Amino acid sequence: MGAARNIRLYPWFKFFQNLTFWQAIWFLFFQGRLSAAEAVIFYAIYDIATTLLEVPSGYFSDRFGRRVTLILSGGFMVLAGVLLTLGDGFLAFAMAQGALGAGMAFASGTDTALLYESLTDTGRSDEVEAQEVRAWRFSFAALALSALSGGLASLIWERLPFLLSALAYGAMLLVILRLSEPSHRDGTAVPQGDEALRLGSLKRALLHPVLIWLFLLGVLMYGFSHLPFIFGQPFILQALETRGLEAAAPLVSGAVTTVMMLVSVVASWGAVPLRNRIGLPAILILAFGIQVLLAGVLAATASLVAVVFLFLRMVPDAMSRPFIMARIQPLLNDDARATYLSLRSLVARLAFAGSLLVAAGVASPDGTMPHEEISRILTWYAGAGLLALVVLAGAARHLPIEPGD
């Protein structure tokens, strides 16, 4: 009963979690209040804060349960929403980013672990790909809904998007409170004296060739997925300024993000047939290739035409994340599942945060970020991504990425 309810509620948990009304205006808001460099630093603070809790939160989840970990996640995200709505100045915004990072860290890995274990409890583990894709659609429907409405809300009051997000996080917490701990985990936590068993499971996962390949791909795709999120807003502002339309930047940014998410939802409907047609390794390499291409296009031109390419930002995620999670889950043991997933997120966030700190060093200390700076930063990212793409594609030919190979 509880596991079946978890499966029904899980998409709604993801829906409220992704009602981020501030997504289309956050860079513009921080840049206007402080500077472009500090806006980049705030995102780095978010990632660094998450890294500090990523693995500990995964261990906490494996040790004490999925539900209590998600409750902590919801509490941190509500706190972040309140701080962003009421706070002011560098310290308050930095604390908000830290709380948001903590909220995401406690959800990272635990959410998908709860889904997989609930499916296992009900004898439906073969539905994991379909359920991950379903949750993906709920997530990006929420992102699409909140992007445009958040841009419109900012025209009424610049902080209204943050307030709406705080209310959404409150609704998410209410959904979490209705979740149950997967029954097959009740009373099965590894005893304190047997932590070596947990470490053994984690070690085997980290040495598994397929998991290593998927680990590296996930780390890279995390960073490349967030590049347009960070640099897309100043890019749009620069493109509009050339036509004297800079005042419309928040609304245009929200509209672009909405279209971006809707395109991703549409892509998710074709992702499963495409995956079945060309195979898992090919669709994952294709998805990463699109990310690298997008970075290259934004680096190459400041034209409004390039904004159209931003519509593709989340398509690679729709073509990869559900399938990566579905491939990973059966290869992991319950006693180390969330820890492994959190460790992967830790490495991804740490690597990306480190690259952002380097990028902030060449960003404007005040005012807006010109396209020359955006181009210089994204050119380096695109070059590194192309090299990684070639290496991963070559390695995939010698590994059983596809189940049953």
User: b/e for 8-45, b at 16 or more Cβ within 10 A?
Assistant: ebbbbbbbbbbbbbbbbbbbbbbbeebbbbbbbbbbbb
Q: Is the pLDDT of residue 348 over 90?
A: no
Domain 2-180+198-396, CATH among 3.90.550.10, 1.20.1250.20, 1.10.3720.10, 1.20.1050.10 = 1.20.1250.20
Q: How many other CB atoms sit within 10 Å of the CB of residue 243?
A: 9
pLDDT band at 304 (very low <50, low <70, confident <90, very high): low
Which of 116, 77, 113, 111 lies closest to 97 in space, CA to CA? 77
User: What is the C-alpha separation between 21 and 143, in angstroms, rounded?
Assistant: 8
* In the chain, where the domains are located: 2-180+198-396
Q: For residue 20, which amino acid is it?
A: T
- Per-residue pLDDT reduced to its tens digit, 117-128: 899 888 888 888
pLDDT band at 191 (very low <50, low <70, confident <90, very high): very low
The answer to whether 363 touches 230, Cβ cutoff 8 Å, is no
User: What is the C-alpha separation between 138 and 150, in angstroms, rounded?
Assistant: 18
Q: Where are the alpha helices (DSSP H) in 87-159?
A: 89-107, 110-121, 128-156
SS3 226: helix
> Could you identify the residue written with the tokens 């289309």?
24
Model confidence pTM above 0.75: no
Q: Where are the alpha helices (DSSP H) in 65-88?
A: 66-86
Mean pLDDT of 344-350: 81
Give the best-scoring range by mean pLDDT among 185-199, 240-254, 268-282: 268-282
- Per-residue pLDDT reduced to its tens digit, 361-400: 665 555 556 667 777 888 888 998 999 999 999 999 989 9
